Amino acid sequence: MNLKNLKNSNTLVSIFVEDLSNSITLEETLYSISKQKYGIDLLVLYSEGIDTSKLESIKNSLDSPKLVLRENNEKGALEERILETDEKINYFLLPCDCNNFAKIFNKAFNVAMENEYEFFSIIEPNDIVGLNWYAQVDTYAKENQNTSIFFPLIRNTVNGTFNGLLNEAPWAEGLAEEAGKIDINLLIRFNCITPLGASFRVKSIQEFSEVKDDGKYYPIKESIKLSHYYEFLMRMIFNDVKTMVIPRIGYEFRIKSNNFFKQTLCKIPYNISQMEIEKGGFSVEETQFWINFAKQDYFFDTDRNKTYEESV
C-alpha cells in the first residue's frame, strides 16, 4: 500500500474495525483522533467480511465523527445532543483477513515501514486517545532520541467506572531499575504493560523483527496466543530497545464485561479462564502455558510455532 504521496504526518496510527456492533463508541474513538493536537495519519484495517453498506458507514464516521451527549434539560428530561468535529482525519482504508491481534499489529507495522513513517501506534475501537497524547510523544521523542517506545499512562474503566491506571508500574517506587523506564526484570515479574496507544520508532522495531520469505517483517510472533505482545515487549527490551512511560494519561482503556473474547483484541479479559471455549475462553492450564512460554521464548528472534497441544 503506497501512501507516500498521501501522508501528512510522520506518525501512522492503526485501528482494526471488525464490525459495527458498537458504532457509537467507535465514533467516540474517531472523534478523539480527529481532535489530536499533533497531526497523525490513520490506517483503518477492516474485516474482509464487512459488506458494502457497513463499509460506507465506516467511511461516513471517518469523514465526520461525532459525539452523542446525553444531558438533562431544564425540565429534567434526558436529551441527546450531537457534537460534530470540525477537523478532518487523514485516513486510509485497507481490507484485512487478520484473525488475531498479532496479525493486525504486523500488517499495520509493515504499512508504516514501507511508507517510511518514523512512528507507529495501534489503538482499538471504543477506546479514547488523549487529545495531547501524540503531541506529548513528539516532545518527549525529541528530547530522548535514544528511546524507541513511548507508553502512555492508561486510564482503565470497566463498564464506565474508573478501575485504576495501567502502565504505571515503572513509576512505582522500587519496581523499576530507573523510574519511568521498563526493564526486563520488571516485565518478567509482572505482565503490566500494554502496547495500546504506545508510539514505536519504526526502525528500532524493524531491527529486531523476523523477516520471512514474503519479505514482510513480523515484530509479534503470530503463533503465540494471549501473551503475544508480552513476549514481544520482553524481546525488544532484552535486545536493548529503550522504553519510557510518559507520566501523562494519554489513553483510556474502556472495557465492557462480556461473556466472550475475540482474539483480534489486545485486551485479555480477567475472567478468560472462566469463559466457555466456544466463546473464546481458555483453560487455566493453557492460559498459564502461554504466559510461561512468553517468558521462555523472548530469547529467540524467530517464531518457533509452538502450540499448547505439543506441551500436553
Residue-by-residue DSSP string for 184-196: HHHHHH------T
Q: Do the domain assignments include residue 4? A: no
Q: Do the domain assignments include residue 114? A: yes
Distance CA 180, CA 264 (A): 29
Cβ neighbours for 14, distance < 8 A, ≥ 6 positions apart: 42, 43, 44, 45, 104, 105, 108, 111, 112, 120, 121, 122, 123
Q: Do the domain assignments include residue 89? A: yes
**pLDDT tens figures, 60-117:** 999 999 888 777 767 767 777 888 888 999 999 999 999 999 999 999 999 999 999 9
Cell of 308: 499448547
Q: How far is CA 134 from CA 173, 244, 306, in A?
A: 27, 14, 37
Q: Do the domain assignments include residue 43? A: yes
Q: Do the domain assignments include residue 6? A: no
Residue 219, pLDDT > 70, answer yes
DSSP letter, residue 268: P
**How many other C-beta atoms lie within 10 A of the C-beta of residue 38?**
16
Percent of the chain at pLDDT > 90 equals 79
**pLDDT tens figures, 77-90:** 777 788 888 899 99
pLDDT band at 269 (very low <50, low <70, confident <90, very high): confident
Cell of 309: 497441544
What is the rounded average pLDDT of the residues 192-201?
Answer: 97
169, 204, 201, 199: which is closest to 185 by C-alpha? 169
Q: Do the domain assignments include residue 122? A: yes
Q: Do the domain assignments include residue 47? A: yes
Residue 157, pLDDT > 70, answer yes
Residue 1, pLDDT > 80, answer no
CATH number at residue 217: 3.90.550.10
Distance CA 154, CA 250 (A): 6
Chain centroid offset of residue 63 CA = 22
**pLDDT tens figures, 275-291:** 999 999 999 999 999 99
Judging by beta carbons within 10 Å of its beta carbon (0-12, 13-18, 19+), is residue 191 exposed, middle or buried? middle
Q: Give the chain's end-to-end CA distance (angstroms, integer).
A: 41
Q: Do the domain assignments include residue 215? A: yes
Average pLDDT taken over every residue of the chain: 93
Helical segments of the chain, H only: 23-34, 52-63, 101-114, 133-143, 184-189, 202-207, 228-238, 284-297, 308-311
**Who wins on pLDDT, 90 or 310?**
90
Total structural domains within the chain: 1
Beta pairing, strands 90-96 & 78-84: unpaired
- What is the domain extent for residue 229? 11-68+80-311
Per-residue confidence (pLDDT) for residue 299, from 0 to 100: 96
